[in-house]
Amino acid sequence: MRTLHVETASSSYPVFIGEGIRKQASELLSSLNRPLTSILLITDEEVDRLYGEEMFRILEEKWSVKKVTVPSGEQAKSLEVYTRLQTEAISFHMDRSSCIIAFGGGVVGDLAGFVAATFMRGIDFIQMPTTLLAHDSAVGGKVAVNHPMGKNLIGAFYQPKAVLYDTELLHTLPQKELRSGMAEVIKHAFIYDQAFLEELLSIQALDDINSEQLNEMIYKGISIKSSVVNQDEKEEGIRAFLNFGHTLGHAVEAEYGYGQITHGDAVALGMQFALYVSEQAEGCQMDRELFTEWFKKLGYPHRIKQEVSTSVLVNRMMNDKKTRGGIIQFIVLKQIGQVADHAFSKDELENWLNKWRMEETA
């Protein structure tokens, strides 16, 4: 087992990473020395089918536990599901010494974290990620639900008390979910670590990734995320750099319909567009064709559906949390490993997106 410590302005907490560590959950939770009267275990239908009862039994040996399942997929991050979970917490007579455990992927983590942040004005919660994608979302304290007009528009910054990352659970991931999570690993490499990106480029197919590589990717990805969050907990500065690829990615997710494209596939599209803008607007020197072909080999989409108009996507981007006074703050690369926050008007970004789409369909 490897342990990282995340330090932010408001808190400090451990991240435990290792094969099979869910079976040590009681000992690891006890080591936090938190008052813990009861646990609301929130998971999704798919994780519950595979591991829900096992985790319930492990925790029930020491605490009073209630397990609640939500639908699998992005549709669970709704105000309706959020309200149902609050009702479950109240009905279970949870108090301020109770704890919520998010046992699932990024959707469950965001949703359960927002429930914890707002129940009785905030109670403890623990992240127990079950996907590769969640290596990014489980660390840093962003918790939220979606609105039909945009992703993660209703939420808070609320740090977990710990992250327990059992990498053994990744062995049952469908390939599309592994690919989705890999997109966030790639993002971290682009914005922070050129040598790491060169290591990743040696992977030409997802089936090439072995357990040792997977564990190392998770450790490096969380280390990068932790370093950024340490400097900027509430996205007042460099934390915005973690949104590389996400401005268009979130717009694509919302326009396609949540659940119709994975978060990682949408972010991969967004990164390919961001690389184009980095080259054209920032003068970033790179072999962009190499990266485009690499994304294709890994199975990511490389063009937006033809029936989705550019103007609709730009209007979606105007609702992005980084937009200020009608100006879209768009993350670009000055060079691999060096990032800049570029301000574009709506018309400028629409022009870049039209040109990139024409290139991709040529």
pLDDT recorded at residue 232: 63
Phi, psi of 2 (to 5 degrees): -110, 150
Residue 52 marked in a binding site: no
What pLDDT shows up at residue 139? 86
Tokens 């990734």 locate to: 209
240 annotated as ligand-binding? no
Does 93 carry a binding-site annotation?
no
Instruction: Round to whole Å and give the CA distance between 216 and 18.
Output: 11
Contact 26, 61 (CB under 8 A): yes
pLDDT for 254: 87
184 is in an annotated binding site: yes
What CATH number belongs to 2-172?
Answer: 3.40.50.1970
CA dihedral 132, 137, 140, 145 (to 10 degrees): -170
Is 77 within any annotated ligand binding site? yes
Q: What are the start-end ranges of the E strands in the chain?
A: 2-7, 12-18, 38-44, 64-70, 99-104, 124-129, 142-147, 150-157, 162-166, 328-335, 338-344
Residue 172 annotated as binding site: no
Handedness of CA 323, 324, 328, 330 (dihedral sign): negative
Tokens of 279: 């080259």
Please enumerate in sequence order all residues whose Cβ is within 8 A of that of 186, keeping only pairs 6 or more positions apart, or say none: 197, 200, 268, 271
Angle at 42 between CA 38 and CA 48, to 5 degrees: 120
Per-residue pLDDT at 229: 82
In this predicted structure, what is the pLDDT of residue 296? 95
Does 142 appear as a known binding residue? yes
3 is in an annotated binding site: no
Residues in contact with 140: Cβ distance below 8 Å, sequence separation at least 6, in sequence order: 6, 159, 225, 226, 228, 229, 233, 239, 242
* Nearest by Cα to 21 from 11, 31, 13, 36: 31
Distance CA 229, CA 139 (A): 9
Can you give the pLDDT at residue 216?
A: 87
d(CA 257, CA 342): 28
| Residue 161 marked as a ligand binder | no
- Residue 109 assigned as binding residue: yes
Is 66 annotated as belonging to a binding site? no
pLDDT at 321 (0 to 100): 66
At position 173, the amino acid (one-letter code) is L
Any binding-site annotation on 74?
A: yes
Is 272 annotated to bind ligand? no
State the Cα angle at 351 between 183 and 322, rounded to 5°: 55
Domain regions of the chain by residue span: 2-172, 175-361
Which portions of the chain are predicted below pLDDT 50? none
Question: For position 8, what pLDDT does the model report?
Answer: 83
User: Residue 67's beta-bridge partner residues?
Assistant: 41
What is the value of pTM for the model shown?
Answer: 0.84
Q: Is 171 annotated as a binding residue?
A: no
108 annotated as a binding-site residue: yes
Distance (Å, whole) CA 223 – CA 228: 9
CATH number of 175-361: 1.20.1090.10
Strand order in the sheet with 64-70: 2-7, 12-18, 162-166, 124-129, 99-104, 38-44, 64-70
Q: Is 232 annotated as a binding residue?
A: no
